[in-house]
Structure 1
């Protein structure tokens, strides 16, 4: 998870970008922080999806094969 300080800084840079524009250094910082945020988000989302089990109304496991394969791959790593 991204630290609250980094999330706050992303917001600050976004507001400043809309209000007055960013310097070259600030734009680079913003790009770096956004990239880090997206990597963290994608990793967390991937882990969440891989831990989902889909069950139909009859109680049968109908989890998509792609998700089941990802679970198996993660257990091996």
Structure 2
């Protein structure tokens, strides 16, 4: 996950853009920080999805094959 300082900076730039205009340097910084944040969220979501096991009412594993293969590939790396 992103550091608190980076998240605070994203929020600071966002607030500033609502009140006034960002400089070109600030716009670039904001873009980089947002991309880093989105990448972090996607990575976290992917890891969460790979930890899911789906079980039906009878206790049978019904996890989709595609998800099972992704889990196996992650274990190999």
Aligned residues: 77
Q: Provide structure 1 residue ranges, at least 5 long, that are not aligned to the other structure.
A: none
Indicate the larger mover: 14-23 or 2-11. Answer: 14-23
Q: Provide structure 2 residue ranges, at least 5 long, that are not aligned to the other structure.
A: none
* Normalised TM-score (structure 1): 0.95
Q: CA RMSD in A?
A: 0.8
Structure-2 residue corresponding to 1:15 = 15
User: 1:67 and 1:76 mapped to 2: Cα distance?
Assistant: 15
Q: Would you identify which runs of 4 or more consecutive aligned residues in structure 1 move more than 4 Å?
A: none
User: 1:1-77 maps to which residues of 2 (within 5 A)?
Assistant: 1-77=1-77
